[in-house]
Amino acid sequence: MTSDPDSSRQVVVRLDDVHKEYGHVKALDGVRLDIRAGEAVAVMGPSGCGKSTLLNMVAGLDRPTSGTVQVHGQDLGALNETGLALFRRRHIGMIFQFFNLIDDLPALDNVALAAQLTGTSARQARRRALELLDELGIADRKDAYPAALSGGERQRVAVARSLMNRPALLLADEPTGALDSRSGEQVMDLLIDLNQIGQTLLIVTHDPHLASRCASRLIEVADGRVSSESQLEPTA
């Protein structure tokens, strides 16, 4: 077995010597990382080691102090704030530990909004949102507001929202961190299914079970650096 079995696949994420400093804190200290199309990469490491900072750099939610971040062939440093927001909406899906749904909108509109923000008509957006909620098994909850949904349902709505624009890359920061084990397993199953149909994933987690179930490669971060990388055996 070679150490890089997918080297012919398109590079979706490329970090080159990325540093991020917050005052005196070196959150990232020279990170290099390539993620290829179809990979599912888990990032693990102790609290405060820089995992969320790394994810935020890839999402274009924050900019490196130095170094470059490319996603889907685009150098994020070359985009202004508006360009970055548009790029993120079109090409990157995000799932967070605490769902980040809009409380005042029912599930369907929370999902549909993601496409309306990229110029899709409300009608088309709602149609696709309903399809996704259906695929994720929560179409019957489409009119419910987030407060009335269980944690697992909220996360499935958030996953549907993240998929609305068929993103090249799906990012997840502790996607099961706020869920009970059963809901967490459902979200893991969802991530596995998505990866099996080709979705590229980058998942930050504290949970070795999530990493080993969902990821094909494990990256360990310590003190803002990649301390080790390993391929994971697929689980059945």
Ligand X SMILES: Nc1ncnc2c1ncn2[C@@H]1O[C@H](COP(=O)(O)OP(=O)(O)OP(=O)(O)O)[C@@H](O)[C@H]1O
Residues that bind ligand X (CB under 6 A): 22, 25, 27, 45, 47-53
Task: Please state, in angstroms and rounded to a whole number, the distance separating the CA atoms of residues 94 and 23.
Answer: 27
Dmax (CA) for the chain in angstroms is 51
Task: Please state, in angstroms and rounded to a whole number, the distance separating the CA atoms of residues 167 and 5.
Answer: 24
48 binds, among Mg ion, ligand X, none (CB under 5 to 8 A by kind): ligand X
Residue closer to ligand X, measured from CB, 56 or 200: 56
53 binds, among Mg ion, ligand X, none (CB under 5 to 8 A by kind): ligand X
Q: How far is the CB of 141 from Mg ion (least distance, A)?
A: 28
70 binds, among ligand X, Mg ion, none (CB under 5 to 8 A by kind): none
For residues 38 and 234, the answer to whether their CB atoms sit within 8 Å is no
Q: How far is the CB of 207 from ligand X (least distance, A)?
A: 11
Residue closer to ligand X, measured from CB, 27 or 136: 27
122 binds, among Mg ion, ligand X, none (CB under 5 to 8 A by kind): none
Task: Please state, in angstroms and rounded to a whole number, the distance separating the CA atoms of residues 179 and 164.
Answer: 23
Q: How far is the CB of 145 from ligand X (least distance, A)?
A: 28
Residue closer to Mg ion, measured from CB, 63 or 206: 206
Task: Please state, in angstroms and rounded to a whole number, the distance separating the CA atoms of residues 104 and 130.
Answer: 18
Apex 97 CA angle, 159 and 156, nearest 5: 25
Q: How far is the CB of 226 from ligand X (least distance, A)?
A: 13
Which residues here bind Mg ion, judged by CB under 5 A?
52
Q: Which residue is closest to Mg ion by CB? A: 52
Q: 154 CB contacts (<8 Å, ≥6 apart)?
A: 99, 101, 146
Residue closer to Mg ion, measured from CB, 14 or 51: 51
Q: How far is the CB of 45 from ligand X (least distance, A)?
A: 6
Q: How far is the CB of 176 from ligand X (least distance, A)?
A: 14
Residue closer to Mg ion, measured from CB, 45 or 106: 45
Residue closer to ligand X, measured from CB, 54 or 101: 54
H/E segment holding residue 89:
helix 81-91
> Residue 71: phi, psi to the nearest 5?
-130, 125
For residues 51 and 20, the answer to whether their CB atoms sit within 8 Å is no
For residues 204 and 43, the answer to whether their CB atoms sit within 8 Å is yes
At residue 68, the 3 state secondary structure works out as strand
